[in-house]
Structure 1
Amino acid sequence: MKRLFIMCVSFVMGMANIASADNIRLEDVTGGKLRATYISAVTPLPDGDSYACIDSNGKKIVCHSFRTGQQTGVLFDADNTVGEKIESFDNFIMSPDGTKMLIQTNTVRIYRRSFTAVYYIYNIGTRKLERLSDYGPQQSPVWSPDGNLVAFVRDNDIYLVKLLYGNAESRVTKDGKKNEVINGIPDWVNEEEFGFNTALTFNADGTVLCWIRYDETKVPVYSLQMFKGMKPARDEYSVYPGEYSYKYPKAGQQNSTVSVHSFDILSKQTRKLQVPVDADGYIPRIKPTGDAQNIIVYTMNRHQDVLCLYSVNPKSTVSRLLIKESVPKYVKEEAMEGIRIVGNNILVPSDRDGYVQLYLYGINGQLQRRLTTGNRDVTALYGFDEKTGDVYYQAAGRSPMNREVYVTRKNGKTECLTPREGWNNAVFSTGCKYFINQWSDMNTPFEYTVCSNSGKKLAQLEDNGALKNKLSAYSLPHKEMFSFTTSEGVKLNGVMIKPAGFDAGKKYPVIMWQYSGPGSQQVVNSWNLGSMGQGALYDAYLTEQGFIVVCVDGRGTGGRGSEFEKCTYLSLGDKESKDQVETALYLGSLPYVDKDNIGIWGWSYGGFNTLMSMSEGRKVFKAGVAVAPPTDWRFYDTVYTERFMRTPNENPQGYDDNPINRADRLSGELLLCHGLADDNVHPQNLYEYTEALVQADKDFKMNVYTNRNHSIYGGKTRTHLLRQIAEFFKDKMKR
């Protein structure tokens, strides 16, 4: 759920031309003309001096020097292969030794991170291109360490391809079955909430294949009704609708039973590994180490406040506890995801001391030292130099609204490698000698530079000059950060976007957007700012309609330490809605704000908190829009919901405070929008909430989108949705 907003932003692209020199058209926002250029699929190569990426035309995979940023070669050219021929490709996976790659084509999305694709094996030296398999699309392929084997999943079973034996394909598991057993890839809830799509790995010498098995036989089924629709049309449903049914464990319900298995490639023996895991617990990761006798398996209890890392021998099946991470309330998913195994070391992000910091363990599980300090959250771990003891990472050092790249030396000295104020992301070279830095701020699209590990700029790769030139034709609004203190004494950070030509003597209606989910951030000094990202261009469009647009990150959001983030535990929506109401009251006190015309909107968790805020009791919102909102956490999945709420049986009071039970307190005009094929926040949330509104005799408007998932896109869908939001606020707040 935490990434829903980000995921929604990624689909804002389409078909438009810039209109006039002054005004933004909605199609300018939803179309590709104002989309930033990215350097895509950056892959550091084993030599430590080079990286691979997809070229700007999308037809080649090219090699660049980290030191100069210059292209040094072409690793793959779709128009120049020996053997198989392809017209285009979507991505690639480099072999560990850098001599081969898997070329991904014909990608078909399943859920947020999962997809099937047709993969090809490509030998860089010979330019030979061969199909990985002739028997149907594949999922989540992984290379063996020597690059001579590839394992993948098809139809919930694992297959093995031996490159040295004419790409001979063999079947490793035979019990995979839709909605029953899954091998090597996570089920829906593990994929969505633990943020991964591969549960399969080789050991260090490639002699054993290990995987997580999910038995979802007892998990309840949820069915989505499917229609013919358009863009694309489903002709099989042209007269009678169909169903898409899959296993989805709602809060308090049965999860998949998980176990770990290994396959000895030489002896063809399959073993179940002895990993201690609760009957209702999770196995959110499986990782290789540099020792062929050990892999590392993560386990987590259902409450998600204890994370264990086990060293497991894939042949003897014996496991040994290495690290037990136990923190108040819950282990942050981002911290679990950020664990890195580097040689003989394990680096663990943890908020055990109030802020996320980095801790260094030996491969035997012995804590060696705390690597970072300070009252600031470490937000990404980039690399660790075993020789020097230097650790490279991202942190909210200057403020929660900014990110910098840092290095902390073995002696504890910390240096900021990216002093320019804004938002910095990095990709480090193998060995951490160089890094590519992506920088932006709320007024400037992404700029890419190559830097040395001391922070020295070596080359400019991309400055998005073409986009900057396009944006110069528009009268863009002024963005400014601000903060205020609520009546409860809580300081909150916000951003305000005022119309171009703002007149302080006038009173403006205000539209507030927010997401508000645990650990999220919307108030960021980044080009990702905005209700739909893109430097807040949709919000700029709203300012052209005569609105001031505001976002405030309330309690529960990230970048301010665990006390601020976890204070909403067991009562989602209570403090978050109070903080949005307090924001409206603060804005209403400003001389240029029309306090009687303040609106609020949000998507997913932001939709939930829109409804909670409009039903908080203080009638401050004239209108609101909730897109794909959860309306009762009993309808949402186990992993996300129980992380913050425990189960409904344990916390009935927390679950009972929801938009459905607040329906009779709703104040303000309301528009609800939902995709009818939303596999994440089910349409059940919409239907049950609207029934509660009807029985409470509350008026509302509703838009539904046929066959659309949680992102609500496809054809002209996204443009239609954003126009409905804008027109609803204009109609209800500018009469």
Structure 2
Amino acid sequence: MNKLLTAVFFALCITGYAQKQITVEDFTTKNTFPQKTVRGINWMKDGKFYSTLENNKVVKYNITTGQPVETLVDGSTLNPKIEIQDYSFSGDEKKLLLTTDFQSIYRRSFTANYFIYDLTGKSVKPLSANGKQSYAAFSADGSKVAFVRENNLFYVTLNDMKEVQVTDDGKFNHIINGTTDWVYEEEFSFVDGFYWSPDGKKLAYYRFDESAVREYNLQRWGKTLYPTDYRFKYPKAGEVNSAVEIWIYNLDSKQKVKADIGTEKDIYIPRVKWTADASILSIRKLNRLQNNLDIFHTNVSTGTSTVVLNEKSETFIDLEFTDDLIYLADGKQFIYTTERDGYKHLYLYGMDGKLVKQITQGSFEVSQLIGLDEKTNTLYYTSTEVSPLERHIYSITLSGKKTKLSQAAGIHTINMSGDFQFYIDYHTSAAHPTVVSLFKTKGNALQKVLEDNATLAKVLDDYGFAAKEFFSFKTIDGTSLNGYMLKPKNFDASKQYPVLVYQYSGPGSQNVNNLWGGSHFFFHQMLTQKGYIVAVIDSRGTGGRGEQFKKLTYKQLGKYELEDHIAGAKFLSTLEYVDDSRIGIWGWSYGGYMSSLAMTKGAGTFKMGIAVAPVTNWRFYDTIYTERYLQTPQLNASGYDDNSPSTYANKLQGNFLLIHGTGDDNVHFQNSVVLQDALINAGKQFTSFYYPDKHHGIQGAQTKYHLYTMMLNYVQENL
């Protein structure tokens, strides 16, 4: 009897050890599962060293040994002491630009204080004493630094630290110089709107006039007696955009020239880039519907421009996806990516815009153009050639000789040195967290593993993390869709389990990849320990599978995605180990839109749904994103209303939880208010929760703890 009790006790201990229980604190306030990486890599020009930012120090490493050789600057020993949050080198690597006192504004915009550190004299100076700066950048020769302050552009000459003001008409909610308005920042993914010429003698910069753009009023509740209003310019679909221009400032003459790119005013200028020639600026212009792209070459002395390449689409030109443009140093050619043959590929053009050749081709997408080694005429890129679920690195010569460099299955993200002699491979797969490795490009020789996350792998094993099990199913038109499942560790195929479907579903996105982790991964792993299967599904319209698959949803967002998630639920219900009466769905942002639509227009399919920060009618969202996929409400009203959750509020079935932050500058709280109002008027019962003053990501460790605890409880009580 005693031996039996001892054996049972030992077995229980082993079981407990094999699978520790994940708590909400583990992934919100405790950081129990930290995935290490190598950050802040700056490749040194001589090809022998790189530097990183670690423990408030910029440390120089020997590339071949991977060992530190010198601390270039230690923020804690400076006078004044500086918490270094970012850094960059001057072109001659004799100076460092140090960033501190970082204060976020929106997703990418910020203010900060910058310091110039002289590596030779070991001296440090503030870049400016006239207020915080933004987006500071060295000129090519390292003699000057330009920056933005309060919507105006400035530069400092470093030999005498003299500050020069380039523009003086900047005003909040009216005129912006050298940076972007809200919608460009969010949807074209940049805020540094000024560009040094290759010779350091000119500054090209954006100028936005947002005076006519309507304001959105965001109330900030805080802890004051009266809430305050924060009003900012936010162009909703179909409304007036900022008027945008590109100007070129000559530092010697102090003269400004406006780039002449046509008389059409309702346009976007999503990218500006200097060619190798300091007299020619490259400007890309999109029409309002984003289905016509022109690449201009502008004479910076006169402002006159010539269209060298025009691209048209029956749907939209996905600039976020086809963003690569490299001008060759000889000034005769450029490399550009486009989906013109149905997949994103690399093309070589002459400076006159005439096609020289298509460099890559096939039924796969080039994911990342890493760079061109002009000494060997070799391009480096990653692509989906192996599988839409993977990304591998390749080299290809301009003559067409292609070599696959990566071998291990999964996702390879590459950071290559400027001289192309070395690269760092951030590799992950469903089976293992990120492994960071240093390779010598010639011979593709592994030099050193910089981080293997072995400690994390052991922790994951202790907690019994569920492995991703990939699956596919066919939607109603016969298209095969990809997904993966996370199952309970003690999964028994003879039993039946409830299933929670997670999805994002937005155009060009991808959640189903052969990588470790993913959105809300620890929350999902915790659910498997509670006896749930979590299924993650990519619908039609998502990325990695070519233009036709991605652009199917054009002019009718939500229609096909909903069909696919209903088909997904039906597929799951055919599995013997799935309890078909207990299938739920949830998502955040676009995923919240889809879970809201699934619970209303798709009523009866899912027992439970959770929507976090959802769009509930695309009329409430911004111009650039929304009109890219739906055109304007004036041209396509049905595309906005036929798949709006608010339109189908009277059809709501099942348990529905609606969550939003009141300080969301991106997907406005207005979306949830309107949906709630429609549900109330339809006599529907539901649960809602708002987070005071929290933005789209519902930030803060304690807030996240509250959020995931609430969602966990809701799932357990209602699914």
TM (norm. structure 1) is 0.93
- Aligned-pair CA distance for 1:342: 4.1
The aligned residue for residue 455 of structure 2 is: 466
Please give the secondary structure, in 2, of the residue aligned with 1:472: helix
Please give the secondary structure, in 2, of the residue aligned with 1:698: coil
The aligned residue for residue 203 of structure 1 is: 197
Matched, 1:267 2:264: no
Find the partner of 1:444 among 432, 440, 447.
Answer: 432
Q: Distance in 1 between matches of 2:479 and 2:649?
A: 27
Find the partner of 1:171 among 160, 165, 168.
Answer: 165
Q: Distance in 1 between matches of 2:76 and 2:604?
A: 63
The aligned residue for residue 34 of structure 1 is: 33
- Aligned-pair CA distance for 1:20: 9.8
The aligned residue for residue 598 of structure 1 is: 583
Q: Distance in 1 between matches of 2:76 and 2:158?
A: 24
- Aligned-pair CA distance for 1:80: 3.9
Find the partner of 1:627 among 612, 615, 618.
Answer: 612
- Aligned-pair CA distance for 1:364: 4.1
Matched, 1:665 2:660: no
- Aligned-pair CA distance for 1:202: 1.5
- Match runs of 1:324-723 below 5 Å: 324-343=310-329, 344=331, 345-453=333-441, 454-529=443-518, 531-532=519-520, 536-617=521-602, 619-657=604-642, 658-723=644-709
User: What residue identity is the alignment partner of 1:131?
Assistant: P
Q: Distance in 2 between matches of 1:19 and 1:334?
A: 46
CA distance change for structure 1 residues 449 and 614 in 2, over 3 Å: closer, same or farther? same
CA contact (8 A) 1:96 1:147 kept: yes
Q: Any stretches of 5+ residues in structure 2 without a counterpart?
A: 1-15
The aligned residue for residue 23 of structure 1 is: 21
Q: Distance in 1 between matches of 2:132 and 2:552?
A: 45
Please give the secondary structure, in 1, of the residue aligned with 2:596: helix
Q: Distance in 2 between matches of 1:397 and 1:67?
A: 30
The aligned residue for residue 62 of structure 2 is: 65
CA contact (8 A) 1:142 1:200 kept: no
Please give the secondary structure, in 1, of the residue aligned with 2:711: helix
- Aligned-pair CA distance for 1:90: 0.7
CA contact (8 A) 1:578 1:616 kept: no
CA contact (8 A) 1:308 1:322 kept: yes
Q: Any stretches of 5+ residues in structure 1 without a counterpart?
A: 1-17, 229-234
Please give the secondary structure, in 2, of the residue aligned with 1:27: helix
User: What residue identity is the alignment partner of 2:271?
Assistant: R
- Aligned-pair CA distance for 1:210: 1.2
CA distance change for structure 1 residues 588 and 687 in 2, over 3 Å: closer, same or farther? same
- Aligned-pair CA distance for 1:51: 2.1
Q: Distance in 2 between matches of 1:486 and 1:290?
A: 49
Q: Distance in 2 between matches of 1:455 and 1:615?
A: 53
Please give the secondary structure, in 2, of the residue aligned with 1:299: strand
Matched, 1:283 2:269: yes
CA contact (8 A) 1:67 1:434 kept: no
CA distance change for structure 1 residues 652 and 432 in 2, over 3 Å: closer, same or farther? same
CA contact (8 A) 1:53 1:63 kept: yes
Q: Distance in 2 between matches of 1:434 and 1:154?
A: 37
- Aligned-pair CA distance for 1:277: 6.1
The aligned residue for residue 10 of structure 1 is: none
1:540-567 deviation digits (Å, cap 9, x = unpaired): 1011111000011010000000000000
- Aligned-pair CA distance for 1:21: 5.5
Please give the secondary structure, in 2, of the residue aligned with 1:64: strand
1:15-37 deviation digits (Å, cap 9, x = unpaired): xxx99951111111223231211
The aligned residue for residue 180 of structure 1 is: 174
- Aligned-pair CA distance for 1:584: 0.6
CA contact (8 A) 1:388 1:410 kept: no
Find the partner of 2:187 among 172, 190, 193.
Answer: 193
Q: Distance in 2 between matches of 1:395 and 1:401?
A: 10
Q: Distance in 2 between matches of 1:94 and 1:668?
A: 57
Please give the secondary structure, in 2, of the residue aligned with 1:568: coil
% identical equivalent positions: 39
The aligned residue for residue 278 of structure 2 is: 292
- Aligned-pair CA distance for 1:140: 1.1
CA distance change for structure 1 residues 259 and 347 in 2, over 3 Å: closer, same or farther? same
CA distance change for structure 1 residues 341 and 724 in 2, over 3 Å: closer, same or farther? farther
Q: Distance in 1 between matches of 2:259 and 2:173?
A: 23
CA contact (8 A) 1:207 1:265 kept: yes
- Aligned-pair CA distance for 1:270: 2.0
CA contact (8 A) 1:610 1:625 kept: yes
Find the partner of 1:212 among 206, 209, 219.
Answer: 206
User: What residue identity is the alignment partner of 2:174?
Assistant: E
Q: Distance in 1 between matches of 2:253 and 2:17?
A: 66
- Aligned-pair CA distance for 1:268: 1.3
Q: Distance in 2 between matches of 1:120 and 1:584?
A: 56
Q: Distance in 2 between matches of 1:339 and 1:585?
A: 44
User: What residue identity is the alignment partner of 1:76?
Assistant: V
Q: Distance in 2 between matches of 1:64 and 1:220?
A: 51
Q: Distance in 1 between matches of 2:706 and 2:351?
A: 53
1:122-172 deviation digits (Å, cap 9, x = unpaired): 1122221110000111011121110101111000001110012x2101211
Further displaced range: 601-610 or 385-394: 385-394
Q: Distance in 2 between matches of 1:147 and 1:363?
A: 28
Please give the secondary structure, in 1, of the residue aligned with 2:598: helix
Please give the secondary structure, in 1, of the residue aligned with 2:471: strand
1:68-100 deviation digits (Å, cap 9, x = unpaired): 33323322221344xx42241111122222221
CA distance change for structure 1 residues 701 and 618 in 2, over 3 Å: closer, same or farther? closer
CA contact (8 A) 1:160 1:170 kept: yes
- Aligned-pair CA distance for 1:719: 1.2
- Aligned-pair CA distance for 1:257: 0.1
Runs ≥4 residues deviating over 4 A: 18-21
- Aligned-pair CA distance for 1:668: 1.4
TM (norm. structure 2) is 0.95
CA contact (8 A) 1:47 1:430 kept: no
Further displaced range: 567-576 or 605-614: 605-614
CA distance change for structure 1 residues 266 and 404 in 2, over 3 Å: closer, same or farther? same
CA contact (8 A) 1:19 1:28 kept: no
1:559-592 deviation digits (Å, cap 9, x = unpaired): 0000000000000000001101110111011000
The aligned residue for residue 43 of structure 2 is: 44
CA contact (8 A) 1:486 1:582 kept: yes
The aligned residue for residue 145 of structure 1 is: 140
Q: Distance in 2 between matches of 1:21 and 1:554?
A: 33
CA contact (8 A) 2:380 2:394 kept: yes
Matched, 1:123 2:118: yes
Please give the secondary structure, in 1, of the residue aligned with 2:462: coil
The aligned residue for residue 11 of structure 1 is: none
User: What residue identity is the alignment partner of 1:62?
Assistant: V
CA contact (8 A) 2:322 2:344 kept: no
Q: Distance in 1 between matches of 2:192 and 2:350?
A: 25
1:146-201 deviation digits (Å, cap 9, x = unpaired): 0101111000001110012x210121101000000000101000010001111101
- Aligned-pair CA distance for 1:105: 0.2
Further displaced range: 681-690 or 25-34: 25-34
Alignment RMSD (CA, Å): 1.6
CA contact (8 A) 2:562 2:602 kept: no
